[in-house]
Structure 1
Amino acid sequence: MDMFIDGAFVPALTGARQSVTNPATGDVIDTVPTGTAEDADRAIAAAERAFEAWKRTPVAERARLQKAAAKLMRAEAQAIGRTLTLELGRPLAAAITEIERSADLLDVYAEEGLRLTAEMPLTSVAGEKMLVTREPVGVVLAITPFNYPITLLTFKLGAALIAGCTMVAKPAEDTPLSTLMLADLFHRAGFPAGVFNVVTGRGTGIGKAMIEHPVPRKIAFTGGTAAGKAIAAAAVQTMKRLTLELGGQSPAIVCSDADLDTAAAAIARHGFANSGQFCYRVNRCYVERAVYEDFLARLKAHVDKLKVGDGFDASCAMGPLVNEKIYRNSERQSDDAREKGARILTGGQRLTGGLYDGGWFFPPTLIADADHSMLVMTEETFGPVLGIMPFEDRREALKLANQTRYGLAGFVFSENLATALTLAEGIEAGSVWVNNIHRSSHTMPFGGMKESGFGREKGRFGIEAYLEYKSIYLSYKEGL
């Protein structure tokens, strides 16, 4: 596939291309252009031209187009989902669900956009009025990771477009194909040329050029903390607005009065979804000593049922990790914990033989008796490895949960509502789940504290991040 710029698929100006591989087999499934600064410039120029008309398009018309795109996404969820499974390895049913839920978010953003208002303070001063209005920031750059390429783009795209911004998106090198399909879909839904553009290439090439370009007024980035810091440092040179959703090392606290079956099922489901490749997954668990061994047994029973295999096998709950770099981190954290005396309850070594020899397959791994000397309890894993540590005192558990530079999410299990709420309020994170783990709501703000980034996405909170406040002072002569 080619890049999508100004309403058409186009190659890189140099003609250079890079491969997209299937992580389950290692086979090349397609190629995409290796873009350069010149390609970034023509995409941004297209978005800048389109912005002049798009910002004046009535919000009702923007909402109509966005809903049309959402409807088309649902109609083509199977096709985009199959491509996503090929490039990411995630089980097909989950890939299709990603497309459908992303369409739902587009609808939410469309409805929230229709509810945006300006303000007029009631000063009662004769011949004077003050207006507080909001305008779209301008051209937006969206830089997204491989793990949920459509969802995490839609977080940004749906908010930016309904606010009146135009966008240039750069997907991850591992998963560009589904994003390119989405750009074509938006064009077919009726969005004007240049409103949504997608460029491909490497971060050190086209990504750097995009960030340093003087025209875009905002960068929305989801990815690693180190990369986010570098983007923020570069963005300040042109005072670009930023929304950064960065790394996570999310804790779960399981108290002795918790419903252990519910807690074990929720943590197994959430900790190993998408092979653990997302930043607000349960990464580490603190379990009260009185129920520690009981909880470990229940958790292991759930995890042992998770079958790992090819994404097109409907019986599989987990696919491969997306590439060798991501795989090596799970291996490194498991080896580190083993060497420091932890118990590996299940998993811990690469899966081999047959299908497994062709891709980066790592089993769901439970590391018991972990502590904060181990990488699994202190560093982001981004893989199917979960550290578990006992605690004696709930204040100690809260202190350990917050002993991290990250603050994206947290999880609490206690049937005592006072205990649960006290712990939930005490966890330093942007989102906290209590007594179960549901999908994050499209209407709730999502984002992190500390080095997990800043800014919020989803719902009206997400749209507001793409608007600038403007104060207008009006003087007039009274008359009848």
Structure 2
Amino acid sequence: MQMFIDGAWAEAAEGGRLSVTDPQTGSEVDSVPSGTATDADRAIRAADRAMALWRKVPMIERVRIQKACAEAMRQHADEVGVLLHRELGRPLAACQAEIARSADLLDIYAEEGLRLSATMPLGGADGERTIVTREPVGVVVAIAPFNYPVTLLMFKLGAALIAGCTVVAKPAEDTPLSTLRLAEIFHQAGLPKGCFNVVTGTGVGIGAALVEHPIPRKIAFTGGTAAGKAIAAAAAGTLKRLTLELGGHSAAIVCADADIDKAAAAICRHGFANSGQFCYRVNRVFVERPVYDAFLAALAQRAKALTVAPAGGVGDLGPLVNDKILSTSIRQSDDARAKGARILTGGARLTGAGYDGGCYFPPTLIADATPDMLVMREETFGPLIGITPVDTAAEALRLTNDSLYGLAGFVFCRDLAKGLALCEGIEAGSVWLNDIQRSSHHVPFGGMKQSGIGREKGRYGVESYLEYKTMYLSYEVPE
């Protein structure tokens, strides 16, 4: 495939290509251009030209176009889902569901656009009025990761477009194909040329050029904390606005009075979804001692029942996207084993027919984990969960907050007062009590501490692409 710039397919100026591989087999699926600063400049200038017109489009028309794009996503969900399946390796049904759920978010952002308004505070003297309005921040650079490449791009794109901004998107090197196809679909659905541009390449080759370019006014990034810090430092040179959704190391607390079966089911489902490749998954669990053994048994039973689909087969989980992600799971598992932890299930790379060509690691439970183990200190982004016994809920809360990250937290406790107190005490942007549902499209999503800056989704996401402007009006009052 090619890059999509100013409503048309485009090759890289220097002609370089990057291979896109199937994580199930390691074989090449396609290739995309390896862009450079020249390509970044071309895409940004196309977005800048488009924004001069797009920002003037009436909100009701922006809403109509965005809803048409959402409907086009649904109509092409099977096709784009196949592309996503091939580049990510996640089971096909889940890939197609991601497309449909992302379309829902576009609709929600569109509806939030209709609720935007200016205000005229009362209290001015005769012949004087003050209007507080909001304008689009400017051209946006949106950088999305591999794990949910469509959904996490729509977090940014849907909010930016409805606010009147235009976008240059850079998908992850592992998963560019679905994003490129969506850009074409949106253009065909009526989005004007230059409003949604997609460039491909490496972070060094084109990512840095996008961030450092003087025209964009905002960077929206989802990815690792180290990369987020580098982007923030580079963006400081031109004082770009930032939305950074970064790493997570989310903890669950299981109290002695918890519904153990419900807790085990929720933690297993959430901790191993997408083979553990998402930022707010359960990474570590603190369990009060009276129910520790019962919880381990219930969780292990569910984890052992999960199946890993071999290449061309079916199952609950797919492969990890590349060797780098796989190596983290191996390293953390080996580290825990060496330091005395019990591996209840999994713990080693899957091999054999259907697995040898890909990056397969099974659901892994690490019992009796201690604070010095990597699984309890570092983001895994793989199918590992560390579990630690604690004497009190207060100890669990202290250990939960003893982290650089603050993206999500989870509490299981029948005592509502105690559960709410724990939820309030967890230093995280989102907290769940007694179950783990998908994050809602209507409410803010983002992290505290080194898990990021800013919020996405709902009206909160749209507002992050707007600047306040105050206008002071003076006029003659008729006699």
Task: Tell me whether the two structures share a fold, i.e. TM-score over 0.5.
Answer: yes
Other-structure match for 2:234: 234
Q: Please give the per-residue CA displacement for 1:201-246, whole angstroms capped at 9, x wherever unaligned.
A: 0000100111110000000000000000000000010000000000
CA distance in 1 between partners of 2:354 and 2:405 (Å): 36
Write the mapping of 1:430-441 to structure 2, written as runs, cut at 5 A: 430-441=429-440
Other-structure match for 2:88: 88
How far apart are residue 3 of structure 1 and its match?
0.1
Verify the 8 A CA contact 2:405 2:448 in the aligned structure 1. yes
CA distance in 1 between partners of 2:124 and 2:307 (Å): 69
Specify the code of the residue in structure 1 equivalent to 2:453. Answer: F
CA distance in 1 between partners of 2:389 and 2:255 (Å): 10
CA distance in 2 between partners of 1:406 and 1:363 (Å): 25
CA distance in 1 between partners of 2:310 and 2:98 (Å): 18
CA distance in 1 between partners of 2:57 and 2:190 (Å): 13
Write the mapping of 1:442-453 to structure 2, written as runs, cut at 5 A: 442-453=441-452
* Secondary structure at 1:272 match in 2: helix
Other-structure match for 1:190: 190
* Secondary structure at 1:299 match in 2: helix
Other-structure match for 1:251: 251
Other-structure match for 2:389: 390
Write the mapping of 1:99-110 to structure 2, written as runs, cut at 5 A: 99-110=99-110
Report which stretch shifted further, 69-78 or 155-164: 69-78
Other-structure match for 1:118: 118
Verify the 8 A CA contact 2:124 2:130 in the aligned structure 1. no
Other-structure match for 1:380: 379
Verify the 8 A CA contact 1:91 1:312 in the aligned structure 2. no
How far apart are residue 15 of structure 1 and its match?
1.1
Structure 2: gaps of 5 or more residues: none
* Secondary structure at 1:380 match in 2: coil
Verify the 8 A CA contact 2:428 2:447 in the aligned structure 1. yes
Other-structure match for 1:10: 10
Q: Please give the per-residue CA displacement for 1:365-399, whole angstroms capped at 9, x wherever unaligned.
A: 00000010100001000000000000011111100
How far apart are residue 123 of structure 1 and its match?
1.0
Write the mapping of 1:422-433 to structure 2, written as runs, cut at 5 A: 422-433=421-432
Other-structure match for 1:158: 158
Other-structure match for 1:468: 467
* Secondary structure at 2:305 match in 1: coil
CA distance in 2 between partners of 1:273 and 1:72 (Å): 27
Q: 1:391 to 1:437 in 2, by over 3 A?
A: same
Verify the 8 A CA contact 2:119 2:133 in the aligned structure 1. yes
Q: Please give the per-residue CA displacement for 1:51-110, whole angstroms capped at 9, x wherever unaligned.
A: 000000001111101100111111111111111010001011111111000000000000
Q: 1:457 to 1:80 in 2, by over 3 A?
A: same
CA distance in 1 between partners of 2:294 and 2:273 (Å): 23
Other-structure match for 2:263: 263
1:325 and 2:333 equivalent? no
CA distance in 2 between partners of 1:176 and 1:67 (Å): 23
CA distance in 2 between partners of 1:306 and 1:358 (Å): 21
Specify the code of the residue in structure 2 equivalent to 1:198. Answer: V
1:179 and 2:179 equivalent? yes
Verify the 8 A CA contact 2:2 2:33 in the aligned structure 1. yes
How far apart are residue 309 of structure 1 and its match?
1.4
* Secondary structure at 1:20 match in 2: strand
CA distance in 1 between partners of 2:10 and 2:124 (Å): 57
How far apart are residue 14 of structure 1 and its match?
1.1
Q: 1:379 to 1:459 in 2, by over 3 A?
A: same
> Between the two proteins, what is the percent identity of the paired residues?
68
Verify the 8 A CA contact 1:414 1:420 in the aligned structure 2. yes
CA distance in 2 between partners of 1:93 and 1:412 (Å): 30
Count of residues in correspondence between the two structures: 479
How far apart are residue 313 of structure 1 and its match?
3.5
The two structures have a TM-score, normalised by structure 1, of 0.99
CA distance in 2 between partners of 1:387 and 1:9 (Å): 46
Specify the code of the residue in structure 2 equivalent to 1:59. Answer: M
Alignment RMSD, CA only?
A: 0.7
Structure 1: gaps of 5 or more residues: none
